[in-house]
Chain A
Amino acid sequence: MTGLLIRGATTLGGAQEDIRVREGRIVATGSLLPELRETVIDAAGLVALPGLVDLHTHLREPGGEASETVLTGTRAAAAGGFTAVFAMANTSPVADTAGVVEQVASLGHRHGYATVRPIGAVTVGLAGERLSEIGAMARSRAAVRVFSDDGKCVHDALLMRRALEYVATFDGVIAQHAQEPRLTEGAQMNEGALSGELGLAGWPAVAEEAIIARDVLLAQHVGARLHVCHVSTAGSVDVIRWAKARGIAVTAEVTPHHLLLTEELARGYDARFKVNPPLRRDEDVHALRTALADGTIDIVATDHAPHPAEAKECTWAEAAFGMVGLESALPVVQTAMIETGMLGWADIARVLSTAPAAIGRLEGYESPLAEGSAAHLTLVDPAARRTWGADDLHGRSSNTPYTGVELAGAIVATVHGGVPTLLDGALRPAEEVARG
């Protein structure tokens, strides 16, 4: 492809601008740029965002290719407007060595749909017993900066302290899955009146809040960066707000589904709604939205967790935790945050692109849509509304909670490093994307 001219997009300042892309960079912005020999995208009525960055994706490769691969996961990412994803470490083998993280990063690079930045495991085999080779992963070609045992909590306080201290030496961050294991043994959904009524073992909010409280104090004590994964309760928001007020280097994420869905959906025992952490109460959703709006929660991250059909077509207790979320992330956030007037599009750019890139030390997102910057961008039709169906999913699994649900907005185009991965709402063929 010779280059791109994006004509008349609404930029974050609200103006209509043309954006010219050449050789992976934005080379010019302005109005009525002359048309050269290039592909022209008519972006009238579309909002131009910096390419979205997901700090929390499960790509499942290696080992879980029946659920997702780096290729299918990054295709889903491109369809959802993402140009970079951070791939969680709970693969098989676990991403706890330089070899595995380099393999994952290289698969992403080869396919080209999105930049893949692997997340390294904090502990060997996610077993919570010994630190993994964090330094080797950091120095590898994958240049890992985010470490997490996500899916499991680093529950040993001493090990967590050591991990925080260790990664601080190369500006890394520990992304904690905050779940006190003893308080959540057998837990199936949020603990409350509904879990009591449905006879499902409850997952108390305090199991999340207690770990966050401990970890922010540890981060302060050792002077390291802590990132809290998928915050789900109002009490967690209170703890993070308190920690930030004390100047502790803590950042936090919320998933799109925790901004929109509540535990009431468990009433039908439909395992698509079984997720870790669980869907919570209305009051929690309200607190999470408020915290995202006031900056207490820094970013939105999908926790895209693909599972094959058989892992969900079973009883609630047997079903796997998790839901896919890359394709629906922006429509859900638009529905929950923009349509409620709590965020504007510039905020969306921050919480879904520049801030997650900054937390993960991902370069190329520092000056979004500015001349000279890397051409990672996403065009959104904010006026669209559509009812979600299987056709909206591009990964290998279909465990979405939004089938049959009307959501706002539509991703029209995604450009990764100057290469369109999605045009007119359709993914471009793999060979064209890989060629660049």
Chain B
Amino acid sequence: MKHLLSTRDLDRAAAVRLLDVAEDMALTATREVRKLPTLRGRTVVNLFFEDSTRTRLSFESAAKRLSADVITFSAKGSSVSKGESLKDTAQTLQAMGADAIVVRHPSSGAAHQLAHSGWIDAHVLNAGDGTHEHPTQALLDAFTMRSRRFGGDSRGRDLNGMRVLIVGDVLHSRVARSNVWLLETLGAEVHLCAPRTLLPAGVGSWPARIHHDLDAALATGPDAVMMLRVQQERMHDAFFPSALEYAREYGLTAERFGRLEADTMVMHPGPMNRGLEISSAAADSARSTVLEQVTNGVFIRMASLYLLIAGADDAPRPSGADA
């Protein structure tokens, strides 16, 4: 695997392998020294054109646990804010010896352009591009679902037969897009629920069932309910009439949460707007996977970096890797 840009690029075997390698990475967390020598001498650059403390820390942590040298580059206050282009920035970083560039950018397609424009040779890992994709988020979601469903018997499995309901602002959500493609690849049945104003054009051709009524969608008996963050700035742009109406129509209220099956997972990519798309009753319950998602994010990012940088050559494999 040269780049990780989109979950659409992953077939079932590649996706399951990523999840399995993440299982190996998770094993290291239980050790006294939680570090592998796998990427010693390699340089990973976190190139963040958009603020995201959680994702940046997760990637930093992942690269450091693999013993890579890590350079974190934030566009704010840098030459980028003085007008330097993506091309020049990326070429500068490559000239400094970057083996992989983890890029987060407000423009859809930025990671794709870095990977395919011929500007650089480094591996490119998409850490979120505009409203397009956020593949490692979808992978950590799938990893979390698989772990909850199969526990220690997860390895080698997909999500065949699982019913996943994704609720909220699908239109602007890179998390939703990456999840739809990946969940379908892994055999899950995907449901989307949102007002029509928050669904993208052509969503009818996506491999998902579409709902506009959350109560009816919940009645289908999902194994996981994934609530998407409502971006506050959207409220002024006529996507829905008011925060109150949104919470009433599309929020996972305590009452709705109470109607879920006892083993239904409640997921959220964070950060959460409590009281808007999710109630505290749901967010803080035992069925909530929110903190597990954060923990698993590090393992998924370790697996991704390992497979990109070392997976295709003779670098040492992580302990316990089965391939």
Tell whether A pairs with B.
yes
Q: Does A315 contact B (CB under 8 A)?
A: yes
Q: How far is A269 from B177 in the complex, measured between Cα atoms in Å?
A: 17
B110: chain A residues at CB < 8 Å are 269, 315
30 A-B contacts (beta carbon < 8 Å): A191-B201, A192-B201, A193-B201, A193-B205, A195-B200, A196-B200, A196-B203, A198-B108, A199-B108, A199-B130, A199-B131, A199-B132, A199-B174, A200-B108, A200-B131, A200-B132, A204-B201, A268-B112, A268-B116, A269-B112, A313-B117, A314-B86, A315-B86, A315-B109, A315-B113, A316-B108, A316-B109, A316-B113, A317-B108, A317-B130
- Check B200 against A313 for contact (C-beta < 8 Å): no
Q: A196-B203, A269-B113, A310-B85 are in contact. List 19 more A-B contacts (CB 8 A).
A: A191-B201, A192-B202, A195-B200, A196-B202, A197-B202, A197-B206, A198-B132, A199-B132, A200-B131, A202-B200, A268-B112, A313-B85, A313-B117, A315-B86, A316-B108, A316-B109, A316-B113, A317-B107, A318-B107
CB neighbours of B201 from chain A (8 A) = 191-193, 195-196, 202, 204
Q: A194: CB under 8 A from chain B?
A: yes
* B residues 112-128 touching A (CB-CB < 8 Å): 112-113, 116-117
Residue of A191, A202, A269 with highest tally of chain B CB at under 10 A: A269
Q: Mark A190-221, 1 if CB is under 8 A from B, else 0.
A: 01111111111110100000000000000000
User: Per-position contact with A for B158-177: 1 when CB-CB < 8 Å, else 0?
Assistant: 00000000000000001001
Question: Which residues of chain A from 301 to 322 have any CB-CB distance to chain B below 8 Å in the complex?
Answer: 310, 313-318
| Interface residue ranges, B against A (CB under 8 Å) | 85-87, 105-110, 112-113, 116-117, 129-133, 174, 177, 200-203, 205-206
Say whether B133 contacts A199, CB under 8 Å. Answer: yes
| Nearest B residue to A271, CB-CB | B113
Q: Which residues of A contact B206 (CB under 8 A)?
A: 196-197
For the complex formed, measure the closest distance between the CB of A81 and the CB atoms of chain B, giving whole angstroms: 33
Residues in A with CB closer than 8 Å to B129 are 199
Give the docked Cα–Cα distance between A391 and B203 (Å). Answer: 43
Q: Which residues of chain A come closer than 8 Å to B113, judged between CB atoms?
A: 269, 315-316
C-alpha gap A188/B110 in the complex (Å): 14
User: Are B109 and A200 interface neighbours, CB within 8 A?
Assistant: yes
Residues of A contacting B109 with CB < 8 Å?
198-200, 269, 315-317
Contact digits for A250-279, partner B, Cβ 8 Å, 1 yes 0 no: 000000000000000000110000000000
Docked complex Cα distance between A310 and B85 (Å): 8
Chain A residues with CB under 8 Å of B205's CB are 193
- In the bound assembly, the distance between CA atoms of A192 and B201 in angstroms comes to 5
**B282 CB, nearest partner CB in chain A, Å:** 28
Q: How far is the CA of A268 from the CA of B6 in the complex (A)?
A: 13
| B107 touching A195, Cβ below 8 Å | no
SS class of chain A's interface: helix, strand, loop or mixed? loop
On chain B, the residues within 8 Å of A193 by CB distance are 201-202, 205
B286 to A: closest C-beta gap in Å: 34
* Alpha-carbon separation in the docked complex, A315 to B112 (Å): 9
In the docked arrangement, what's the CA distance between A314 and B105, Å? 12
Chain A interface size, as a band, is: 20 to 34
Contacts of B203 in A (CB 8 A): 196
How long is the Cα–Cα vector from A268 to B117 in the complex, in angstroms?
Answer: 9
A197 CA / B110 CA spacing, docked (Å): 15
Number of A-B contacts (CB under 8 A): 71
Among all A-B residue pairs, the 5 with the closest Cβ atoms = A193-B202, A196-B200, A269-B109, A199-B132, A315-B107
Give A300 to B286 CA distance when docked, in angstroms.
65
Docked pose: A199 CA to B132 CA in angstroms: 4
A199, B108: Cα distance in complex, Å: 6
Looking at the assembled complex, report how far the CB atom of B60 sits from the nearest CB atom of chain A, in whole angstroms: 24
Q: Which residue of A lies closest to B114 (CB)?
A: A315
**Chain A residues near B202 (CB-CB < 8 A):** 192-197
Give the docked Cα–Cα distance between A17 and B205 (Å): 57
Residues of chain B contacted by A315 (CB below 8 angstroms): 86, 105, 107, 109-110, 113
In the complex, residue of chain B having the shortest beta-carbon distance to the beta carbon of A313: B87
For the complex, give the distance between the alpha carbons of A407 and B110 in Å: 30
A188 to B130, CA, bound (A): 12
User: How many angstroms from the CA of A202 to the CA of B130 in the assembled complex?
Assistant: 14
Q: How far is the CA of A191 from the CA of B171 in the complex (A)?
A: 12
- Find the B residue at minimum CB distance from A316: B109
Alpha-carbon distance between A269 and B107 when the two chains are bound, in angstroms: 10
Closest beta carbon of chain A to B151's beta carbon, Å: 34
- Which B residues are in CB contact (< 8 Å) with A313? 85, 87, 117
Chain A minimum-CB-distance residue to B112: A269
Which residue in chain A gives the minimum CB-CB distance to B170? A196
Task: A202 to B107: give the CA distance in the assembly, Å.
Answer: 14
Give A200's nearest chain B residue, CB to CB.
Answer: B108
- List the A residue with the shortest CB-CB distance to B237: A185
Q: Which B residue's beta carbon lies closest to that of A269? A: B109
Return the CB mask of A166-202 against B: 1 if under 8 Å, else 0. 0000000000000000000000100111111111111
Q: How far is the CB of A232 from chain B (nearest CB, A)?
A: 16
B230 to chain A, nearest CB (A): 18
Instruction: List, in ascending order, chain B residues with CB within 8 A of A197's CB.
Output: 177, 200, 202, 206
Contact in complex: B130, A314 (CB < 8 Å)? no
Please indicate which of the listed interface residues A197, A269, A315 has the most CB atoms of chain B within 10 Å of its own CB: A315
Residues in A whose Cβ lies below 8 Å from that of B86 = 314-315
List residues of chain B with CB within 8 A of the CB of A202: 200-201
Whole-angstrom CA separation of A352 from B22 in the bound complex: 61
What is the bound-complex CA distance between A362 and B25, given in angstroms? Answer: 73
CA distance A420 to B85 in the complex (A): 42
Residues in A neighbouring B106, C-beta threshold 8 A? 317
CB-nearest residue of chain B to A317: B107
Cβ contacts under 8 Å, B200 to chain A: 195-197, 202
Inter-subunit contact B116/A316 (CB<8 Å) = no
In the complex, which of the residues A192, A196, A201 has the most CB atoms of chain B within 10 Å of its own CB atom? A196
